[in-house]
Amino acid sequence: MKENRIYNFNAGPAALPLEVLEEIKDSFLNFGDSGMSITEISHRSALFDDVINDAVARTRRLLKLDDRFHVLFIQGGASMQFCMIPMNLLGPSDTADYVNTGTWSTKAIKEAEILGKTISVAASSEDKNFSYIPKNIPFNKKAVYIHITSNNTIKGTQWASFPETGGVPLIADMSSDIMSRPFDAGKFGLIYAGAQKNIGPAGVCMVIIRDDLLKRVPDKLPSMLKYTTYATKNSMFNTPPCFTVYMIQLVLKWLEETVGGLEKMEQINQKKARMLYEAIDAGEFYHGTAETASRSIMNVTFRLPNETLEKQFVEQALKNGLGGLKGHRSVGGCRASIYNATSLEAVEALVDFMKTFAQTNG
């Protein structure tokens, strides 16, 4: 730890790289020698053009995006995308497939249904309390898109590899694992991610959309709910959340220049997750809630022998400088979110605490 900072395992808003926070601290009052804070400069200025264009360029490099893709910054979080996607992409005679792997998938399905769109739930893991990722899914070849949630923060499951769709564009809510590993972006028609888990603070959703889906956007939609509005105006049809975009730019810079890219980031993330799951599996005091083959490397969910011990675990962990370990209110238990900015040192400290707590209370 540094100064009075704790090890932050919150699920979102979540940990940010310390050196990014320090850079912001140093430049906050006088950004780019402008004599103004980043929160004061005009979004129409050359200074902010450099910020947003660099964020887009770094996203393209990190994900190896070709010219078919547009990188957008849209307010409303990932939850806004639950309705924007069917509004923009599903016409009256179109259909789409959804895979339900937990809370956020369920919400996305609900929003499409509210709009009266024709969708099908092609697969679901609800039969086992969303503890696994479905396999061998019979997708509809005539679907306009297939929607998945790549990582499920509440249930602690993750797609280890993405499904084959037979050429149907894949859409993914990657809010909690974007930029955590390399993957083939070419099979995706649209990727979206609320920033506040893995790439920045709350306030904006990154949307990456391919040309063929952008062409499906109907003219008669409210301007702020059309992807074309953002694509044609470089996400600046109205005033964007400038500070949040700036922080995303710095996090992407950290990923590229300090970490060394997504391959290196994945190696670190795999090591963190392996350490934590080994601690959970070492005895009978802790037990993971996700099936082993579907375990997330971003959100590690686990239970203790009873709720009283879980409460004590969370309280004592905080006293030892380990914060954010309470499970989501809908499921209880414990959860350690180990996003990109959560250090190996933080996970080592948590594992040491878990061993001591189990020895004392087991």
Residues noted as catalytic: 104, 173, 197
pLDDT band for 4, please (50, 70, 90 cuts): confident
Q: What digits encode the pLDDT tens for the residues 189-216? A: 999 999 999 999 999 999 999 999 999 9
Structure tokens at 342: 């959560």
List 149's β-bridge partners, or say none: 173
Confidence of residue 3 (pLDDT cuts 50, 70, 90): low
Give the C-alpha separation, 10 to 17, whole Å. Answer: 14
133-162 tens-digit pLDDT: 999 999 999 999 999 999 999 999 999 999
Average pLDDT over residues 169-191: 97
What tokens appear for 192 in the block? 């979206």
**What is the CATH architecture assignment of 22-258?**
3-Layer(aba) Sandwich (3.40)
How far apart, in whole angstroms, are the C-alpha atoms of residue 103 and residue 89?
22
pLDDT band at residue 100 under the 50/70/90 scheme: very high
Is the pLDDT at 1 greater than 60? The verdict is no
Cβ proximity of 81 and 205 under 8 Å: yes
pLDDT in tens, 56-65: 999 999 999 9
Cα–Cα distance for residue pair 42/114, rounded to 1 Å: 38
What crossing angle do the helices spanning 344-361 and 307-319 adopt, rounded to 10°? 130
pLDDT tier at 168 (50, 70, 90 boundaries)? Answer: very high
User: Given pLDDT bands bounded at 50, 70 and 90, which one contains residue 2?
Assistant: low
Separation between Cα atoms, residue 179 and residue 360, nearest integer Å: 38
The domain spans of the chain are 22-258, 261-361
- The whole-number average pLDDT for the span 36-54 is 97
Mean pLDDT confidence for 156-184: 97
Domain covering 261-361 assigned CATH 3.90.1150.10 in the classification: yes
User: What's the pLDDT score for residue 219?
Assistant: 95
Q: Which of 201, 203, 169 is nearest to 186 (CA)?
A: 169
In the prediction, which pLDDT does 362 show? 86
Q: Is the pTM of this model over 0.95?
A: yes
Residue 30, pLDDT above cutoff 50: yes
Kindly report, residue by residue over 271-311, the tens digit of the pLDDT: 999 999 999 999 999 999 999 999 999 999 999 999 999 99
Give the Cα separation of 253 and 20 in Å (integer): 9
Within 8 A by CB and 6+ apart from 253, the residues are 54, 58
Q: Does 106 have pLDDT greater than 60?
A: yes
The whole-chain average pLDDT of the chain stands at 97
Instruction: Report, as an integer, the average pLDDT of 13-27.
Output: 95
